[in-house]
Amino acid sequence: MADEVNYPDYLALDELLSLQRLRSEPEHPDELLFIVVHQASELWFKVIVQQLHALIAELKGGDTQRALWHVQRINTLMRIVAEQLSSLDTLPPQRFLQFRNFLGASSGQQSIQFRMIGALSGQRDDSFVAALKAGGTVPAPLQEALDTPRLEDLFVEMAANRGRTLESLYTGPGPDPLFFLAEALLEYDQAFQRWRFLHVQLVERIIGPMTGGTGGTLGAKYLSQSVTQRFFPMLWSLRANLVTQE
Ligand code: HEM
């Protein structure tokens, strides 16, 4: 019976709240915050991955309104994930060093869900794909995501099926649903880039600009290379070619 379910059972709180396993010895009080921010981010990544799948299905099916709804939700979630990074601004660098060794070789670089988000959003550049393959066999869901057409290409195809080019969305008689969807996708790029920027800024604040990461990269220097990466390069570049319509 549905009414027998209570709040702690429904949310599996016993399990959930036992999953913050601090590694530092003696336990460092700040490690809890460090773990929770990462775990919370991974939970949000899970919803974002689900929403990206739904978005792709709506783009393929040609439903502009529902596609827009999913992008708006994804954008809200990306803002939340980015904002929670700021809680780690309260972690003094010297205190992070007190438990950093206990992380071993674990690194955000190994986040499969983060890679899924990149792959489902259309990231296909050589360094991205090479980094995936360097980690051994690419997990099947990730390979599937890589085999899915890029989000931007799906959007272009959706517009083409209605006889529209991307340029025509910005030069036509007035904003229409496809235009708003294009702008929401652009906002997704902004929100994702903002996460990257805030993350690299956090990394610099805590371990400095030149310190290597636990994943073996050049740390902030490595991360800053991807801050300018975009999922929708055409949506950005078309703006340079617009002419004023009387
Ligand atoms: C004290 C705070 C943090 C520090 C010092 C830090 C440091 C780093 C460094 C140095 C890297 C580069 C890879 C490496 O060599 O390890 C990295 C990558 C990454 N981190 Fe963090 N990080 C922090 C917080 C977070 C949080 C809260 C998340 C949330 C999930 C996160 C997610 C990621 C992801 C997804 C990557 C891979 C990014 C990419 O390859 O584009 N990090 N981090």
Residue 129: closest CA among 117, 115, 140, 141: 115
Q: For residues 242 and 170, is the Cβ–Cβ distance under 8 A?
A: yes
Average pLDDT over residues 21-38: 98
* Percent of the chain surpassing pLDDT 90: 85
Question: pLDDT by residue (tens digit) across 102-120?
Answer: 999 999 999 999 999 999 9
Are 158 and 59 spatial neighbours (Cβ–Cβ below 8 Å)?
yes
Poorest-confidence range of 54-63, 80-89, 138-147, 184-193?
A: 138-147
Which of the listed residues 30, 97, 101, 109 should we mutate to test ligand 1's pocket, taking the one with most ligand atoms within 8 A of CB? 109
Mean pLDDT, to the nearest integer, of 174-182?
94
CA 199 / ligand 1 centre spacing (Å): 7
pLDDT band at residue 242 using 50, 70 and 90 as cut-offs: confident
Do the Cβ atoms of 121 and 189 come closer than 8 Å?
Answer: no
For residue 74, tell me if it sits in a domain.
yes
Å from CA of 149 to ligand 1 middle: 27
pLDDT at position 244 over 70:
no
The average pLDDT across 202-219 equals 93
Give the contacts of 226 (CB within 8 A, at least 6 positions apart): 196
Residue 35 CB less than 6 A away from ligand 1: no
Angle at 11 between CA 8 and CA 15, to 5 degrees: 80
Q: What is the pLDDT of residue 129?
A: 83
Please count the other Cβ atoms lying within 10 Å of the Cβ belonging to residue 161.
9
For residue 79, being part of any structural domain is answered with yes
Q: Is 115 in the pocket of ligand 1 (CB under 6 A)?
A: no
pLDDT-derived band at 135 (thresholds 50, 70, 90) equals confident
Residue span of the structural domain in which 127 resides: 23-241
**Percent of the chain residues past pLDDT 70, beyond the cut:** 98
- Domain with residue 183: its CATH number is 1.20.58.480
Within-domain flag for 171:
yes
Phi-psi region of 97 (alpha: psi -120 to 50; beta: other; left: phi over 0): alpha
Q: Is residue 182 part of a domain?
A: yes
How many domains does one find in the chain?
1
Average pLDDT, the chain: 94
String of DSSP letters for 13-49: HHHHTT------SSPPTTHHHHHHHHHHHHHHHHHHH
Determine the average pLDDT of the residues in 201-210: 96
In a domain, residue 103? The reply is yes
Q: Looking up tokens 């460090």, which residue turns up?
A: 34
**pLDDT one-digit tens code per residue, 33-79:** 999 999 999 999 999 999 999 999 999 999 999 999 999 999 999 99
Domain for residue 51, yes or no? yes
Q: Is the CB of 37 under 6 A from ligand 1?
A: yes
246 falls within a domain: no
Atom 38 of ligand 1: nearest residue by CA position: 109
Determine, yes or no, domain membership for 11.
Answer: no
Task: Write down the pTM of the prediction.
Answer: 0.96
> Is the pLDDT score of 14 beyond 80?
yes
Distance from Cα 54 to the centre of ligand 1, integer Å: 27
Q: For the range 94-99, what are the long-range contacts, defined as Cβ-Cβ under 8 Å and sequence gap of 24 or more?
A: 95/28, 95/30, 96/30, 96/34, 96/206, 96/207, 98/24, 98/28, 98/30, 99/23, 99/24, 99/28, 99/30, 99/31, 99/34
Q: Given its phi and psi angles, is residue 128 left (phi above 0), alpha (psi -120 to 50 degrees) or beta?
A: alpha
Asked whether the CA dihedral 108, 67, 73, 228 is positive or negative, the reply is positive
